[in-house]
Structure 1
Amino acid sequence: MDQSTETPPGERPKSGLSVYIGKDVSEIKKEFGEPDRIDDSAFNYDWWVYNVPDTEYIQFGVKDKKVVTLYAIGNGLDVAPYKLGQKLEDIYRFTIVDSEIVVKSDSGSYQFELNEEDLNTRLLVPLGDLYAQLYLDKFTGELSSIRFMDSDTLVATHPYEMMYRGELAEEEPPSEKEWEEVNEANEKQIYAITNIMRKQYGESTLQWDETTANAARGHSREMHDKSYFSHESDAMGSLTDRLDKRGVSYQTAGENIASQYLDGPEAVHGWLNSDGHRKILLDKAFTHIGVGVYKGYYTQNFIKQPELP
């Protein structure tokens, strides 16, 4: 049976990855084995990462040994009631789409408001006692990736404009040491998701280049520390200036930057839906990539390495 007909609108799915929300981590291990790695997040959960390179990628958000959220990309994954790669018009046939979503919990009542860009690229759909974030490719009209979460995680991360009555529990921000681990985790996640996207769109995957990544890290940190957002740095110059100063060998180069996204997956999705960034993200000329993240600032540096004589 088609996934899109299995679950009535608004009900929690009985199959697919979302059934793991609320489950003990032992259930993940039983199905998927040990994670490829466990990443820190900027929130009160860790990411358990399962990666079939360039094909399928899942990260389960785990808090107190329970799954509270997950992100998935890769067209072979079961994300019922949806299908990755599904057309938006199919989704609209069985999904109740609203620009205002009200979440009630013990701590209060919270209203999330989706703007026009959200409705075109980042839908929020209640499914019983959990929520699905549908990451859409607005250029193809297809479901690119998906995130499921419980209500507490939705309120804690508040990825949309939020109004509330009651108390909003402020999480303790990461320490500087924790930020180092979160930054590194986001870099790895962006790299993996970028390669899956490139393969899905028929382009070659990219190799990691650490020297290029150091250039990207330096730019993200400088943008954060000096409170600016630009490809041009007063201190370090343009992208090519920055790569040259790091000793990177390249024939061509490109750069994507982003700021104030929730995490790495959200940043990549933002680039996919911006025409100029998308062209760089999917450019067939590039062979290598370096990613640098510093707190809320994200930089991707792409290069084509010189061919060996």
Structure 2
Amino acid sequence: MKNIVIKILMMLLVVIGLVLLFYSTDDFDDLEEPEEATRTEVQHVNPELTEGAGQYIGKSIDDWTADFGYPERIYAGDNKYEHYIYQANTAYYDVRVRDDKIGMIYAAGIDADISPFKVNQRAAEIYQGTFIDTEPVIKTEDGEYSFELTEVDMKTQPLIKYGKVFAQVYVDQQTDKVMGVRYMTAPLLVQMLPYTAHLNGKPLERTMNREQSILTQLNERETLAEIINMIRASSDIHQLELYQPVTKELCQRNTPGVSKSKAYDSGEAVNMWLNTERQLILNNRFSRVQAEASDCYAARYLNK
């Protein structure tokens, strides 16, 4: 009789143990769920830039000139911004300044300091350890601007955010090499609209305001030729002489052998042509270039 009682007690203990184990497992699951939820909410963020031209975005132009000196020329641009142009044999910077603050920098040339990138670097390398949001959203007083990077964008002009600074990386699709970078603030990215964009869910159509003074057009014309030469230099191709006569016929006529674009600026125009009309921009048979920056950006390549 005693043995039977002991057996019954042991069976009861086993049953109680199984019940406790079952419910304790559920409790552990409940504890783990918030951790999993927390992990899914973690946002990928690239570190702020501490080197290269991009670190000056949002800073005073005095900080820039303290390190880079004074520009070769300054001219008025859109929306009360001024262009500070720096040109060396192998480095080019177009710095946009408003109220003494730097809002945008376009940089090209093999010695341009575009950290964390390098001109002629393999573009595939920038994806390693770098977070790229293909659908970035910018909140403004007007609402939410949502951008969408297409497959072509990812191959030719991926957008990478470092802290509050956006870096638009220009890539030669044929060689898969970095050719330049544009650093900018969120407001100037909204102004530029280089990608498919929506405002509060409604599609936006990009429009370019080309109402500029003659002096600005002449400076933009020079900038266009300089960037063309900088891109050619990065590909080890000789420089082109700027053909001096100023004309608007390049934008007004459909002339064969002329590169034309309704781009945001000279830098964007040249990098677009690199991927669409490289047989002209990188042709080593030409010795001169006729540039125009009026109703559009245009370039005609000439022989002497």
> What is the TM-score with the length of structure 2 in the denominator?
0.78
Q: Is the 8 A contact 1:41 1:185 kept in 2?
A: no
Q: 1:262 is matched with which residue?
A: 264
1:226 equivalent in structure 2? none
Tell me what 2:74 maps to.
38
The C-alpha deviation readout for 1:281-306, integer Å capped at 9, x for no partner, is 111111111101223x222111111x
Partner of 1:70: 105
Does 1:154 find its partner at 2:189?
yes
Q: Is 1:218 matched up with 2:249?
A: yes
Whole-Å Cα distance in 2 between the matches of residues 181 and 43 of structure 1? 16
Q: Read off the aligned partner of 1:50 and give its amino acid letter.
A: Y
Are the structure 2 counterparts of residues 201 and 156 from structure 1 closer, same or farther at C-alpha, using a change threshold of 3 Å?
Answer: same
Task: Kindly state the Cα deviation for residue 164 of structure 1 after the two structures are TM-superposed.
Answer: 1.8
Tell whether the 8 Å contact from 2:169 to 2:182 is kept in structure 1 after alignment: yes
**Residue 42 (structure 1) shift:** 3.0
Q: Distance in 1 between matches of 2:86 and 2:173?
A: 27
Higher helix share: 2
1:205 Cα shift?
Answer: 0.7
Is the CA contact (8 Å cut-off) linking 1:40 and 1:185 kept in structure 2?
no
Query: How far did residue 52 of structure 1 move?
Result: 0.7
Of 65-74 and 284-293, the range deviating more from structure 2? 284-293
CA distance in 2: counterparts of 1:68 and 1:137, whole angstroms = 25
Q: C-alpha separation between the residues in 1 aligned to 2:79 and 2:179?
A: 24
The structure that is strand-richer by fraction is 1
Match of 1:79 in 2: 114
Report the secondary structure of 1:134's partner residue: strand
Structure 2 spans left out of the alignment, 5+ residues: 1-43, 203-207
Maintained 8 Å contact 1:9/1:94:
no
Could you say which residue in structure 2 is the equivalent of 1:294? 294
Q: Which amino acid aligns with 2:126?
A: I
> What is the SS of the residue equivalent to 1:100?
coil
- Separation in structure 2 between the aligned mates of residue 210 and residue 175 of structure 1, nearest angstrom: 21
Q: Is the contact made by 2:134 and 2:148 (CA closer than 8 Å) also made in structure 1? A: yes
Distance 1:92 1:174 in 2: 34
Q: Are positions 1:281 and 2:281 aligned together?
A: yes
Residues 179, 234 of structure 2: 8 Å contact kept: no
Q: Secondary structure at the match of 1:269?
A: helix
The correspondence of residues 23-34 of structure 1 with structure 2, limited to 5 A, is: 23-34=59-70
RMSD over aligned CA atoms reads 2.2
Q: How does 1:100-179 map to 2 (within 5 A)?
A: 100-165=135-200, 176=211, 178-179=212-213
TM-score (norm 1): 0.77
1:175-254 matched pairs, under 5 angstroms: 176=211, 178-211=212-245, 213-214=246-247, 217-220=248-251, 222-223=252-253, 230-231=254-255
Which amino acid in the other structure matches residue 292 of structure 2?
G
- Aligned mates of 2:125, 2:45 — CA distance in 1: 13
Q: Write the distance in 2 (CA, Å) between the matches of 1:111 and 1:183.
A: 32
Q: Retained in 2: the 8 A contact 1:48–1:61?
A: yes
Matched letter for residue 219 of structure 1: L
Bigger RCO of structures 1 and 2 (CA < 8 A, at least 6 apart): 1
Structure 1 SS opposite 2:62: helix
Number of aligned residues? 256
